[in-house]
Amino acid sequence: MLSSVVARCVSILSVVLLVHAGFSTIHFKGIAPPHAPLPPTDVVVEVVIAVVLAVLSSLALMPEFKKVKLADVRLSPAQMDVAFHCPDFMIFSHRGRSIARRRAAVLNRSKKEQK
C-alpha cells in the first residue's frame, strides 16, 4: 500500500517536473536570441530526470502478471483443428495457375532468344 502511494507521488512529481521544464523552455525561447540551438542544460537535465521518474513510477504501479490458463488445458489435435478452422479464408479461385503459365511462357521465350 505504501509503495503504491509513493509511486503515485513520484508519478505526479514527474509530471510537475515536465510541465516546469516546458514552461522554462518557453521562457528561454522568449528571452534568448533566435539562433540559440538548445535550451539551458538545467532544463535538459530536468527533463531527463522527469522521464526516468515517470518510467520508474509506471513500473512500480504495474499490476502483477496473470497466469495463462490455456497452458493448463490439454487439447487434442482434433479440437485444435476445429478451433482454428476458418472456411471463410479458404480461397480456391486464385490466379496462381495463370501466373504459372505466364511465367513458363516468359522462360520459354527467354530460352529461345538465348539460342
**Is the separation of the CB atoms in 64 and 31 below 8 Å?**
no
Distance CA 43, CA 49 (A): 10
- Higher-confidence residue: 1 or 105? 105
**Is the separation of the CB atoms in 57 and 10 below 8 Å?**
yes
Q: pLDDT for 34-84, tens place per residue?
A: 787 888 899 999 999 999 999 999 999 988 887 766 655 666 666 666 667
